[in-house]
Structures are given as C-alpha cells and as structure tokens.
Amino acid sequence: MSSVSQELKDTSVASSKWLDAHYDPVANLYTFSSCIALSDLHGDGENKLVVGDLGTGVCNMKLKVYRGTGLLSESTLLDLPTGMVSFLMDLHEPRTPAIAVASGPFIYVYKNLRPYFKFTLPSLEVNPLEQDVWSQAKEDMIDPMTLKEMLEGLRDKAEIPLSVRSLRFLMLEPQEMENFVLLHKEQPIRRQTVITCIGTLKKNMADEDAVSCLVIGTENGDVYILDPEAFTILYKMSLPSTPTLMDVTGQFDVEFRITVACRNGNIYILRRDSPKPKYCIELSSHPVGLVRIGKNVVVGCSHEALHGYTQKGKKLWTAYLPAPVTTMALMDLPTRGFQAVLVGLANCEVHMYRDKNLVSTIKTPDVVTSICFGRYGREDGTLIMTTKGGGLIVKILKRTAVFEDRDSAPGPPIAQSIRLNVPKKTKLYVDQTLRERENAVAMHRAFQMDLSRLRLAAARAYVKALESSLTPMSASLTEPLKMNAVVQGLGPSFKLTLNIQNTAACRPVMNLAISFLYDENLYSMKTAFFKIPLLVPGLNYPIDTFVECLSDKGISDIIKVFVLREGKSAPLLTAHINMPVSEGLALN
Amino acid sequence: MADDAMKTDVQLPVATDLKKPRPKKAPELPILERRNWLIHLHYIRKDYETCKAIIKEQLHETQGMCEYAVYVQALIMRLEGKIQQSLELFQSCAILNPKSSDNLKQVARSLFLLGKHKAAIEVYNEAARLNQKDWEISHNLGVCYIYTKDFRSAEEQLNLALQLNKHDLTYMMLGKIHLLQGDTEKATDVYKSAVEFSPENTELLTTLGLLYMQLGKYQKAFEHLGNALTYDPNNFKAILAAGSMMQTHGDYDVAMNKYRVAAYSVPESPPLWNNIGMCFFGKKKYVAAISCLKRANYLSPFDWKILYNLGLVHLTMQQYASAFHFLSAAVNLRPRMSELYMLLAVALTNLDDADNARRSYEQAVQLDESNLLVNLNFAVFLYNQGDKKAALLQFQEMERKVNSQVDSNINTEFDPELVEMAQKLGAALQAGENLYWSKPGKDSKTSQRSSSGKPSSSQQPLGTNQALGQAMSSAAGYSKSMQITAEPEADVSSAPSPPTVDPGEPEPEDEDEVEETAEPDKLKEKSKPKAVAE
C-alpha cells in the first residue's frame, strides 16, 4: 500500500521534472554504464552519445554513435568492450576528444571515429622454468609426453602461474600434442592479462578541456596510468584483488586519488606517491556501483543498500533500497550547483539520492542497466539510460525542476491509518454472554456434572475392555500379544486371517489356542478351535481359517475370537469380528 | 527482425575467425580470464540467468580451466540451494588454485551450510594460514564454534574479527554467545558498543532495547526502541515492545497506532493480537478485546498468557463459567504460577464452588512469594466464608509481606484500592488486627492518599504525553504498584459480600485491574520476540 501511493506521488512529481525526449525500446543495445560516454566528437559544440555495445555477448560488438534520436555511425569492435572513455589526448586544434575502448588486453583509441592507435598491456612475467621447458621442446630435445609431465610439475609448485599455451597444452589429448607443439613452439611464450576497468585523469590542469591520462585496472590487480600522447606507462600500482569499478579525481602531476572497488568486496583508495592502497573499506557485500560526489564516496551494494563513506574510508550513512542495484551514475549540474546520485534498481525504478535522502524517483518501462547524465546535443541536463531489453531512453531535465533537499519519504507509515481488522461479534454472541452472566453457576455445574459423567463412562468402557481382553494388545505381562483380524471374500465363504504377533523382547510364547464363538445357525467353520504354534518374538503369524455363511437372508453377525492359554479359562485376547453380509447368496 | 539480423551477424564473424587464423602460423590463444569481468558484472547485479549462460560458454571455451567461472557458478548454485554440488565445484577451484584463501573460504562456507561444522572449522583454519588478517575467516570460525558449543573459542575468534574489522554481524554473534551463556550484562555491553559503531542498525537497536527491558531499565529500553522505530517505522519487534510499554502507561491510542502498522506487515502474530486485545480492554471495549484475544488464542492455542488474559477479561465481563475454562487451561499449561490460581479461585468463588476456590487459594498462597493480592483476596474470601481465624492468618501474612517490602525499599507505594480494601478488612477483623496493619498501613495509606491524587494526575499526563522518555522513567516505578492494584480489584469483584465494597466501584476497579494484569502479560510477550531475535 505504502509503495503504491508513494509511486503515484512520485510519478506525478517525476513527470513534472523530466521531459521524455526519446524512447526506443528496440535500440538493441547491450551495454553497461562503463561503456557509455557523452562527447563532442567533432568539435562542433554538439555532444554525441557514444556507446560500446556488447552485441550478443559473443559477437557483433559495435561502437555506436548517436546524434539526437538517430544513429550517426557504427563501427565493428573486435572483442567485448570492457570500458570506454572519451578524453582529450593533445593540445592540437581543433580540440576533438578521442575515444578509448578497452577490450581484452588492448585499448583501441579512435580519433574522429577512425582507428588511431592500439595499446597493448605489457605482458606478465613468464615462469623461467616454463620458458626453459618450451625452448627444449623447440629444439626437439624432449617429446610431448615429457613436456607434459614437466609442465604438470611446474603447475603444481610454481609461484608464477603457467601461460595460456601451457595450460591449453595440458588439456590436450596425446595425439593432438605433437601438432600443437609444432604449431606453437616458434612463438615466444607470453602471459597476458585483460583490462577490467578504465578511467581518465587530468594531466596537469583542472580545466574542463585539459589533456587527460588514461587509468586502467587489470585482471591481475594492477592499476596503470598511461601517458596521453605516447601511451607509455607513467605509473603503476597494485591492488590485492581485481578492480571492477573505478573513480579517479585530481591531476596526475599534482595530486590524485583513485577509488577502486574490487572483486573481493573491498574498496581501496590509492593516492599519488604510494604504490599500495592508502585506505581500505571492507563492505559486507559486493559493490555494484561506485560514485564520488564531492569528497564522499557513495557505494551501492548487492544486498540492496547504499552506503556513504568519506574519502578516508569512514562510514557516514546507509540507505536501504527496495530492490537490488543494477547501476549507478553521478548527476552533476554545475550550472545549478546540483549534484546527486542516480541509482538504477531491479524493480524498474531509478532513484535519485542526495546524501541519504531520496530526492526523486523515475519509473522506467524496463530494468535500467546503464545510466549516463550530462550534456547531449546542446542540452545540459540530459539523462541517458539503456534497459535490459536493449532499449534506449533519453530524458531531459526541465529547467523549472526543483529538487527539495530532504527526504521525500512520508512521515508515518501508511499502514498506520488502515483500520484494524477486528473480528465482529454477532448479536447471538452478546445474547449468549448475557445468558452466561445470569446463569453462570448453573452452566458451570451442568458442565462439571456432564464432564464427570463423561469421565465415568470412559472409565467404565475402559475397565470393561480390560476385563474382557477386548483390547488389541493383551494386558498380561507373560504373554504380550497383538492381534488383528482381516475378513476376505464376498460370501458365502469367507477367509478369516488373524495376524498374531508376540511383542515380547526375547521370550517366545507357547501353548496357545484359538477358539471361535459364533451363531451356528448362521455360520459354520471346519475347526472352531485349534492350537497355534510357538510364537517367536517380533514375527507376524497370519493364521487363516474359512467361514461358511449358511443364511441366504442377507444378514450378518459377529464372530468372536478368543486367544486362550492352556490351563486358563480367561482369554488373553478377544476380538469381535463384524462379518460382512454374504453377497454371494444375496445375489442369487 | 532483430533476431534475424543478429543471427546473420553471428555467422559472419565466426566464419572470419575460422578463415583468418588458419593460414597464419600460430593462432592467438584466448586468455582464460578474458570474460571474468563480464561474469562478475552479471553476478553482482543478480542477473543469474545471463551469468550462467556466459559461464557455460566460458567453461566450454576453456574446457573448465577458468577458475573464476567455476567459482561464480558454484556461488550461484549455492544460492539456488544446491549446496553439495557447489561444494564440489569449490573444491575443484581449490585444486585449480590451491593458494587462494577465497576458494578455501567458500569450501568451508558450503561445509558450514551442510551442517558439517567440524570440517568447516578445519578448512577455515587452513584458509587462515593463507590469509592471516581476514575478519571474515575469524567471524565464520566464531560462528562455527558457536554451533559446536565451544563458546570460549567462538568468543576469541569473534573478538579477533572485531579487532581486524568491525562489522554489525560480528557484534550480533558475540552478543548471542553471551546470551546463550546467560550473561546478559556482557551481552548488553557488546550491543552497546555495536550501537555506538553503527547507530542506525535497527536490529541492533531493537535487540539492545529488548535486553534493557529484560533488565528492567525501561527508560533506556524505550530510548533504543524509539530510535529503532525512527529509522524503520515498520520494525515489528520494536513496535511490539514499544507498544507494550506504552500500554503499561495507559497510552492505548498511541500503542494502537503502532500496532496497526505491525498488523499490516505481520497479520498473524499471536502476541500482537494479544496486545491489541488488551489495548481494547484498557479502553473498556470488552467485546473487541475478547475478539482479538480469541484470535490470538486461535493462532497460538498453547500460549498461557493469552489464556490468562482471556480469563481476566471474562472475569471482568462476569462470564465466570467461560473464565473458569480459560483459566483452568492456563493453569494446565503453566502449573506453577500463583496469580493463575488466584484468578481461578476468584472464578470459582463466583461459581459458588467454595471448596475448590479455597483449595485454589491455598495453592496460590503456597506458590506465591511477594504478591500481596493473593493473601488479601484469600483473606477476604475466608472472611466471607465466616472463617475469621484463617482470614486473620492470611491478613497477617500480607502484613508481613508489606513490612518486608517496605523494609527492603522494594516498594513503598501501594495501590490505594488495595490499601482501602486492607483497611476495611482490618476493621472487620477487629481492632487488634488493625493495629498490625495500621502502623505501616497508615504511613502507606497517608502516602497513598496524598499520592492517590498524584498517580492519577501524573498518570494522565503520561497517557497523553507522547514524548515517552518521561513516561518510561516513571513507568519503572509504577509498574509494580500497578500490578498489585489490579489484583485487589479482582478480589472485590469476586467477593461481593465484603462489608465495605460498593457495588458501583468494582467496574472502574476492574478496568484498572485489567490493565495492570495485562501489563505483566505484555511484558512477557515482549520477552518472547526477544527470544526470537536471539
């Protein structure tokens, strides 16, 4: 209820704050916030939308450029784009930014949408022993089987992991090995890692159009800062885990701060002059989004919470979200001095937070997977979102929109005004209440009397059953027996099966007999009295006899079964069998 | 349309892939980790279907050698409840990369979830050798030790975890250990520091509030519960606990407001409906009270507190026969509580069953330790039966309790109605007896008289005052006397013949009584959610 009414309120508010500029539900975009950028690619003062599209996730990767509502150009990418940034790499006029697309171990730099440069990550150190083994193989000094054994030995002990080639070789079937070695032995061994995130860092000026360095994080936990013109590595830092999200601030030549969210659930803060992380924030769940707002870091976690931290790693606040976070982005309106965090949620909403206050909510037709806010075309406050289904949404912030700087969540919960569902009582109930008030004593006595009677009747029945050994278990301690009887057949002859069991722990029971008592006009039995064998404890003895029904009038009677012990007149067990009507005769 | 386009596109690159590398000498081997980032991205966004598809493809490409893909697949399987399978996958991860403490941690976690705590401890210890300073290992080790009942090691590990890094979860566990060992003081300390570290965690706040309530520190309890409700107005436990405290102060409307929120989120909670019922009772809406209590009883038929309250309400409604049934059911469930026997005796007295009433009173007196009402009610009953000697004995026993309470300063203010009743009975049992009572009695009586104006006046503001901090502070003082008063009233109604009883009075008295008896019940109910929380 509360969420419904809140939604109504928020959508009406939201619709007054945003203009729906464009919605293409079949734009066929599969991308993340890290692969979206707004950039003035042609230096004509009009910002284009650049999207690194992951295609199907396997192939058909594209670099797409949108202008206005239309696709301006698209060029094929060789591999999945991990991240994409637009940056100014030199001071040449006209100042057109370059696009850097990170994919695999490479960064492809595009200028004017044409391939300009390809940067390859430096390869990692290769195990010298591995190198040795392969060079021996190259000279044909060892056969593939020996090579395999040696590599296996290396894999299990070595400090430095094996290269892809060796690992792939170890997976091969023996007959394929020879070819593989022949094919690969001439090539030098390389061990490569891949880029996992990318960012930019101003070189030496804080201006909007200053030259920027590229900052990249790699799978093996390194962070590199690259020179914008020569693409040499200016600085290298290492992290304890693989970086996933990155935020960079400052200037390379002065002072900078890199906030990195890692795959182990920690956030590390790196600073100039320290190759190791300066501060560490340990989260209790994985970070999904990381946004720096002013001097604070806002982290969206996978357990549906948004945390605020200072840049030294001190926790400031926590806000709980109604659904898992899908993506996050900064909303920065420098002209109005307004900054907020946009959080895309799995329940098809985008929440806008200022500190821990929910300022506004945007409903979207699908789950948003990437958000980008900035200048698009010539409009400053544009919100670009792509959805899980591949849609593209463009919204423009109204110039009249005002965001109140406090929590828009309502004060008391809505449920407080819902009436309690108190069960109603009928007039009859009230009447009975009055009756009880007047006649409480009589009612109580009558009840007590009946209760006593009931107890008496129950006790009597019980005693009677005990006396006539009618219970299914015998009460005697020396012969603990259990019996039940089954009648089979339609008549006139029936099969009577008595299941007798000795329930004693270890003592057998002997000298027992069974006798039947019945109306001789109605039934006849061949033997109405017989002995039963020794009963071994725990076993079930089915004893069959046959009964013939003599009457053809469709009547039935009770047959009584007694289990007797030799020399005792009182039965150990009694069973009354209600015989069924003999249908065989009745049908005739 | 889109699909078609995609398909043709799909074929093209594959074809080029095949053609290009062949003529060249050695094909570039794909890097094993090349799609780890994509797997991770989908995993943390909880898009498990896509994630599984990518993992499958990646594992196919690398023939199962991609450690991270196997790792995430195992994580997803564990989330899907296939713990045994996930354990096997984590173990294969640990084989692929035996130097990673993460893999061992996950193996241990799966073992823990399978209930193999000892095996989990071993693996965690192994992981700890690889990574000394990991709070997670220490924390989980502590939790494993809790399950193996090795509380000392558990405490050690959890403290170690707190030294490495502070997490709310570790505090919760540490507090739980102390509670399991019955050390409420230490648990309170742990929760206090936890609340200092994380002041907005409603679970910690509620737990601490309930602990304070158990210790009788009502003001502090209310403070923390109030904080919890500020951060999360829908916190069921906090609502129930805070509501019951408001009820104790006669703030029925505010309490009802809170209960409405709770009833929306948890509509089938027996303690909640019991408290709502007693709220109605406090507001003299007896039929509604019975409805709610009967619902509570329906939801939890073996809860003696609900039966006790039902008995009480029916006594008030003069439905003595029904009251007898509820009370006798309660006695059967909880055979060692004197108040229950006393109420049963009151019901029996009204049902003209003097013999059983007397027996019930005797049982109540035998079990009772400090409740004046039991003796007073018994004395009134005996007096009405004409057994003045026995009545006198009970009266003296009551005086003894009064004196000991006054001496030890447990309770110096007595309910005016109780005192009045005692005065009347004292007079009826003659002056000699009166002397015994009169000394403490007059003191208490005068204090009562003077205070009788006070409590009502102070009580009223409490009821209306919504800044409950104040109310709570006075609550602690009043709760005892209030309970006492409740019972004398029951007496009055049960013994119609005492010379001094006005027929008009019992009703207001009843109400008071009801409220007061309701209070202990509510407190107990509150303690229930606590147990759940722990």
Residues A574 and A544 placed together within one structural domain of the fold:
yes
Q: Are A142 and A69 members of one domain?
A: no
- Considering the domain architecture, whether residues A523 and A560 belong to the same structural domain is answered as yes
C-alpha to C-alpha distance for A220 and A239, rounded to whole angstroms: 8
Of A58, A264, A421, the CB nearest to B57: A58
Contacting residues for B101 by C-beta, under 8 A, at least 6 apart:
B127, B128, B130, B131, B134, B137
Structural domains counted in chain A: 4
Chain A (210-249) residues lying within 8 Å, Cβ to Cβ, of chain B: 219, 242, 244
Higher pLDDT among residues A414 and B219, named by residue: B219
Backbone angles phi and psi of A371, in degrees to 5: -135, 140
Q: List all residues of chain B from 189 to 248 with a beta carbon under 8 Å from chain A.
A: 198, 200, 233-234
* CA distance to partner chain B, nearest, from residue A271 (Å): 22
| Confidence (pLDDT) at A457 | 96
Same domain, A388 and A322: no
Report yes or no on A557 lying in a domain.
Answer: yes
For chain B, count helices (H), then strands (E): 27, 0
Among residues A294, A290, A301, which one has the least CA distance to residue A323?
A301
**B25 vs A183: CB contact, 8 Å cut-off?**
yes
SS3 call for A575? strand
**What residue in B sits closest to A435 (Cα-Cα)?**
B319
What digits encode the pLDDT tens for the residues A552-567? Answer: 777 888 888 888 888 8
Shared domain for A73 and A133, answered yes or no, is no
CA distance B404 to B398: 10
Does A5 score more than 70 pLDDT? no
Distance from CA of B440 to the nearest CA of A (A): 39
A489 and A557 belong to one structural domain:
yes
Residues of A in contact with B36 (CB under 8 A): 194, 196, 219, 242
| Residue type, position B208, single letter | L
If one compares B15 and A381, the residue with the highest pLDDT of the two is: A381
How many residues are there in chain A? Answer: 588
pLDDT of residue A224: 92
pLDDT band for position A330 (cuts 50, 70, 90): very high
Asked if A181 and A174 touch (Cβ cutoff 8 Å), the reply is no
Per-residue pLDDT tens for A428-472? 988 988 888 888 889 999 999 999 999 999 999 988 887 777 777
Domain contains A551 = yes
Touching B: A residues 93-132, CB under 8 Å: 104-105
Say yes or no: A353 and A373 in one domain.
no
Out of A219, A302, A417, closest to residue B44 by CB? A302
Mean pLDDT of B446-450: 32
Nearest Cα neighbor of A220 from B40, B98, B34, B89 is B34
pLDDT band at B441; cut points 50, 70, 90: very low
User: What's at A359, amino acid-wise?
Assistant: V
Could you give the strand order of the β-sheet that contains A83-87, starting from the edge strand earlier in sequence?
A83-87, A98-103, A106-111, A114-120
Is the model's pLDDT at A298 over the cut of 90? yes
Q: How far is CA B504 from CA A428, B117, B351, B426, B509, in A?
A: 28, 66, 21, 22, 10
Residue in A59, A416, A437 nearest the CB of B257:
A416
B496 touches A: beta carbon within 8 Å: no
B353 and A CB contact within 8 Å? yes
Question: Is A436 within 8 Å of B32 when comparing Cβ atoms?
Answer: no
CATH number for position A524: 2.60.40.10
Would you say A261 and A243 are in contact if contact means Cβ atoms under 8 Å apart?
yes
Q: Do A570 and A492 belong to one domain?
A: yes
Q: How confident is the model at residue A383 (pLDDT cuts 50, 70, 90)?
A: very high
Q: How many Å lie between the alpha carbon of A34 and the closest alpha carbon of chain B? A: 11
Residues A132 and A144 in one domain: yes
Over residues B238-245, the mean pLDDT reads 88
* Whether A281 contacts A259, CB under 8 Å: no
Q: Which of A305-309, B100-104, B181-185, B472-476 has the highest mean pLDDT?
A: A305-309
Query: What is the sign, positive or negative, of the torsion defined by CA atoms of B214, B217, B219, B225?
Result: negative
Q: Where are the domains of chain B?
A: 285-430+464-480
The larger pLDDT score, comparing residue A539 to residue B450, is at: A539
- B62 to chain A: nearest residue by CA? A168
Chain A window 16-55: which residues touch B at a Cβ cutoff of 8 Å? 26, 28, 32, 54-55
Q: How far is C-alpha A348 from the chain's CA centre?
A: 18
Contact B261 A288 (CB under 8 A): no
Is pLDDT at A299 greater than 90 in this prediction? yes
Is A254 among the domain residues? Answer: no
Distance CA A388, CA B420 (A): 76
A358 and A376 in a single domain? The answer is no
Mean pLDDT along residues A534-538: 86
d(CA B310, CA B330) in angstroms, rounded, equals 10
Is A471 an 8 Å CB contact of chain B?
no
**Which range of residues forms the domain containing residue A486?**
481-587
The pTM for the full model equals: 0.70
Considering only CB atoms, B295 lies closest to which of A56, A284, A423, namely: A423
Q: Which among B10, B34, B257 is the nearest to A104, CB-wise? A: B34
Distance of CA A323 to the CA centre of its chain: 12
Q: Do A28 and B44 touch (CB under 8 A)?
A: no
Residue B129 has pLDDT above 80, yes or no: yes
Q: How far apart are CA B435 and CA B425, in angstroms?
A: 12
User: d(Cα A479, Cα A465) in Å, to the nearest integer?
Assistant: 17
**Averaged pLDDT for residues A402-407:** 69
CB contact under 8 A, B35 and A417: no
Q: Which of A374, A330, A371 is nearest to A349 (CA)?
A: A371
CB contact under 8 A, A444 and B14: no
User: Do A489 and A581 reside in the same domain of the chain?
Assistant: yes
The mean per-residue pLDDT over the stretch A231-241 comes to 89
Claim to verify: residue A496 and residue A557 sit in the same structural domain:
yes
CB within 8 Å: B31 and A164: yes
Q: Residue type at B304?
A: W
CATH hierarchy code of domain B285-430+464-480: 1.25.40.10
Question: Cβ of A410 under 8 Å from any chain B Cβ?
Answer: no
pLDDT over 90 percentage in chain A: 22
